[in-house]
């Protein structure tokens, strides 16, 4: 029987099948972005990002990644906690709508009611939809889980290596002391790149995970 982490990932065949269900092709690339504590938490017991996970160097880099993306896909809690002051395109994953509804400058989307490919066709300008681009995925956990099954093209994992949260929300479902975020990413077929130090004083590092290069 697979562990919860193994179940969270998908084989290449399953990933392609899910992309077909959501009417997606390789024009669109999925880039996850998270900063976690040493114990793999993205939020505290209250569901909010703790102060220990707020780092200026990580934040500046993260904002640049969002600026470069065709659209940001995030959960309802993150959307409400972080108003869209930059007026970026946002697709908010929620069960609170039947399919897709406009909400000011943002879109509320229920993946059970509308395939992602069709949602993108409605949300994106025609030229961007034709050419494709990056979907930036900053969480929360339900959104991270959803795209873990669809298959990340990159996952940008920052870590505050001195911070521990304890009884908080971990990056993916099924994680615990024995099943880590690294295990989940490996089970999803991703491999780590070189570790980069974002803030040496605060011990914040970054590792970008990607599928293995073809032929490697």
Token pair of 82 as six digits: 């972080």
Ranges of residues in the chain whose predicted pLDDT is under 50: 1-8, 215
16-58 pLDDT, tens per residue?
Answer: 766 666 667 789 999 999 999 999 999 999 989 999 999 999 9
CA distance 164 to 19: 35
pTM (2 d.p.): 0.89
Residue 211: predicted pLDDT: 96
Residue 201: predicted pLDDT: 98
140-175 burial string, b = 16+ CB within 10 Å, else e?
Answer: bbebbbbbbbbbbbbbbbbbbeebebeebbbbbbbb
CB 29 within 8 Å of CB 153: yes
Name the CA dihedral angle for 46, 52, 58, 59, rounded to a multiple of 10 degrees: 50
Residue 84: predicted pLDDT: 87
Please list the residues that pair with 136 across neighbouring strands: 31, 72
CA distance 164 to 41: 8
Residue 131: predicted pLDDT: 95
Token pair of 42 as six digits: 């993205």
Kindly give, in sequence order, each residue whose CB lies less than 8 Å from that of residue 208, ignoring residues fewer than 6 positions away: 154, 155, 156, 157, 192, 193
Taking each helix axis from N to C end, the angle separating 141-150 and 12-21, rounded to the nearest 10 degrees, works out to 110
Residue 8: predicted pLDDT: 45
Q: Which domains does the chain have, with CATH numbers?
A: 4-210 (3.40.430.10)
Residue 2: predicted pLDDT: 38
């Amino acid at each position: 029987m697979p562990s919860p982490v193994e179940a969270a990932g998908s084989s290449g065949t399953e990933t392609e099948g899910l992309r077909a269900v959501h009417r997606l092709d390789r024009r669109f690339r999925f880039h996850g972005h998270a900063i976690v504590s040493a114990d793999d938490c993205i939020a505290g017991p209250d569901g909010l990002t703790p102060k220990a996970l707020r780092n200026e160097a990580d934040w500046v880099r993260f904002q640049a990644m969002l600026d470069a993306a065709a659209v940001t896909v995030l959960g309802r809690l993150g959307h409400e906690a972080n108003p869209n002051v930059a007026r970026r395109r946002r697709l908010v994953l929620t069960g609170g709508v039947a399919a897709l509804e406009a909400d000011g400058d943002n879109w509320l989307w229920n993946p059970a009611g509308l395939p992602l490919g069709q949602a993108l066709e409605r949300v994106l300008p025609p030229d961007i939809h034709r050419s494709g681009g990056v979907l930036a995925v900053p969480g929360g956990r339900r959104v991270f889980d959803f795209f873990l099954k669809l298959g990340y093209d990159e996952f940008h994992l920052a870590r505050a290596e001195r911070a521990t949260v304890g009884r908080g929300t971990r990056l993916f479902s099924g994680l615990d002391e024995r099943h880590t975020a690294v295990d989940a990413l490996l089970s999803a077929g991703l491999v780590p790149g070189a570790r980069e130090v974002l803030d040496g004083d605060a011990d914040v590092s970054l590792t970008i995970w990607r599928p293995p290069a073809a032929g490697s």
